[in-house]
Amino acid sequence: MSQVELRDVTVSVGAKVLVSNVTVAIQSGTWCTIVGPNGAGKTSLVEAIAGLRRPSRGTVSIGGRVLAAMNERERARLVALVPQHPVVPSGMTVYDYVALGRVAHHGLLRAATTRDRAIVDSVLERLSLGEFRDRDVVTLSGGERQRMVLGRAFAQSTMVIVLDEPITGLDLRHQMELLELLRSEVADGGLTVVATLHDLTLAGQFADRLILLNQGELVLDGAAGDVVRSDELAHCYGMNLRVIDVDGADVVVPVRR
């Protein structure tokens, strides 16, 4: 059984179709990145996978269960979302923010259990956030804040994490650190990652599989290296692209006409 399955998913707002008839099956322990030009429907698709948008037509299933048939708390036990622009309230400590990920399990009106606290402590340790546990969230740097937001998703203890442009605003070192961390969770913990990335080079290097969208339609779905080197990729972006091998890694370079 696929961990994430989309069947004929269409997402519309009024008369405008954002995603059209997308059918995809993503296996457990796989990193799948959705790429495509602005307006391709990437964010709309990941929001549908995370349960934030209900498809106008078709179904999204996680672990064989249809998201539309669940309430919010049930969905939060199956799939976690790291949005592109997370809301980070002031006056909250890093520990308390990460602990919000456990609300899906113990509810708003019940106190955290010993197990909940142990999970949050473990996440802080894994993400090297232990020294910041009592800091106000607004005092963190961009890289620290993004790790904290990822920590909240990890604390949900789901087997699927959806990330919308998770490296936006981070410098190169922090981009690589965050992506390497996710890669290790996929390789060692069997996590299933569905992400969007603008950087085609990083998308190709970290993902097992790429889905290419254009104008809401699925253009190509395959191994990362195959999609990066495809003619369809340059066509969708409407520009000349060269792919250069650098120490075994594909680097995508735009070329002026």
CA–CA distance, 84 with 166 (Å, rounded to integer): 6
- 3-state DSSP call for residue 100? helix
232-246 pLDDT, tens digit per residue, is: 999 999 999 999 999
CA–CA distance, 54 with 59 (Å, rounded to integer): 9
CA–CA distance, 71 with 41 (Å, rounded to integer): 25
Using 50, 70 and 90 to split pLDDT, how confident is the model at 1?
Answer: low
My answer on whether 72 and 171 are in the same domain is yes
Contact predicate 41/35, CB 8 Å = no
Task: State the CATH number of the domain containing residue 234.
Answer: 3.40.50.300
Which of 105, 124, 157 is a domain's end point? 157
My answer on whether 125 and 142 are in the same domain is yes
Q: Which residue has the higher pLDDT, 245 or 1?
A: 245
| pLDDT over 70 (residue 39) | yes
Terminal CA-CA length for the chain: 46
My answer on whether 91 and 66 are in the same domain is no
| pLDDT over 90 (residue 21) | yes
Range of the domain at 135: 85-157
Going from the C-alpha of 205 to that of each of 27, 76, 143, 181, 243, the distances in angstroms are: 19, 29, 20, 14, 12
My answer on whether 65 and 165 are in the same domain is yes
Using 50, 70 and 90 to split pLDDT, how confident is the model at 257?
Answer: confident
CA–CA distance, 251 with 230 (Å, rounded to integer): 13
My answer on whether 166 and 74 are in the same domain is yes
Domain total in the chain:
2
Using 50, 70 and 90 to split pLDDT, how confident is the model at 90?
Answer: confident
My answer on whether 186 and 61 are in the same domain is yes
CA–CA distance, 217 with 213 (Å, rounded to integer): 5
My answer on whether 175 and 129 are in the same domain is no
Place of tokens 């009106």: 109
Strands 4-13 and 16-26: antiparallel
Nearest to 29 by CA among 143, 146, 193: 193
244-256 pLDDT, tens digit per residue, is: 999 989 999 999 8
Which of 111, 128, 157 is a domain's end point? 157
